[in-house]
Homo-oligomer: A and B are copies of this chain.
């Protein structure tokens, strides 16, 4: 379903260049739940943003169900990002001047869902992540872990078939983190969602079907057991 071949991402900075990805190839099959691990700076967020069609690689190919994402039309990409893929950003990327509810409603509004229905669905999803009593709080009126959960709720609200989550429990205590993980598992089992979770948490990695390891912008083969 997800087929990446030879992905590179190179940033030019003056006379030097930073190779954030240096030739990444991987496959993720329909309904798999995989984790991506690796040291800080190893390329995880860069990889995830390419898989989420939010960024283009410098070179290499990325096919989603056989279709090369780099050749998709704008309207195709918009639908992909809005309805097919749910993306949880490492830095949340919430709208600062909107409430939790308005932030989570936004993808539904873009998908053309009528406002009464979108409001209800957004409230339910926020309740699912434990924020039923924080609907009208703006991001700066929420704790770090609450903001993170708003970002998670927003990624789930359009019933995506693929969830790409960038360190979704980094700001959560272990109990709240487990609740989020249980939610992901439930979606995975009940709705057969495909999940790719970038994580620093070995407990999450242990619960995934497969672990993809990155080191310095490349995938580490399973038999390479040096520390990351």
Chain A interface (Cβ < 8 Å from any Cβ of B):
11, 13-14, 18, 37-41, 44-45, 90-91, 136-137, 141, 143-146, 148-149, 166-167, 170-177, 200, 202, 227-228
Q: Which residues of B contact A173 (CB under 8 A)?
A: 37-40, 200, 228
Q: Does A176 lie within 8 Å of B39, measured CB to CB?
A: yes
Q: How far is the CA of A171 from the CA of B91 in the complex (A)?
A: 10
Q: Which residues of B contact A167 (CB under 8 A)?
A: 144, 171
Q: How far is the CA of A149 from the CA of B172 in the complex (A)?
A: 19
Instruction: Please name the residue on chain B nearest to A146 by beta carbon.
Output: B41
Q: Does A11 lie within 8 Å of B146, measured CB to CB?
A: no
Contacts A41-B145, A90-B171 supplied; 11 other A-B pairs, CB < 8 Å: A11-B141, A39-B175, A39-B176, A40-B148, A40-B171, A40-B172, A41-B146, A45-B144, A90-B144, A175-B227, A177-B200
Q: How far is the CA of A137 from the CA of B41 in the complex (A)?
A: 13
Q: How far is the CA of A171 from the CA of B199 in the complex (A)?
A: 9
Q: How far is the CA of A166 from the CA of B170 in the complex (A)?
A: 12
Q: Does A91 lie within 8 Å of B144, measured CB to CB?
A: yes
| A13, A145, A175: residue with the most chain B Cβ atoms closer than 10 Å | A145
Closest 5 CB pairs of A and B: A40-B145, A90-B144, A170-B170, A40-B176, A173-B200
Known contacts being A13-B136, A137-B13, is A174 close to B200, with CB within 8 Å?
Answer: yes
| A136, A166, A171, A176: residue with the most chain B Cβ atoms closer than 10 Å | A171
Quote the shortest CB–CB distance from A91 to chain B (angstroms).
6
Q: How far is the CA of A204 from the CA of B170 in the complex (A)?
A: 14
Instruction: Please name the residue on chain B nearest to A142 by beta carbon.
Output: B41
Q: How far is the CA of A89 from the CA of B175 in the complex (A)?
A: 22
Q: How far is the CA of A202 from the CA of B18 in the complex (A)?
A: 34
Instruction: Please name the residue on chain B nearest to A179 by beta carbon.
Output: B40
Q: How far is the CA of A167 from the CA of B175 in the complex (A)?
A: 16
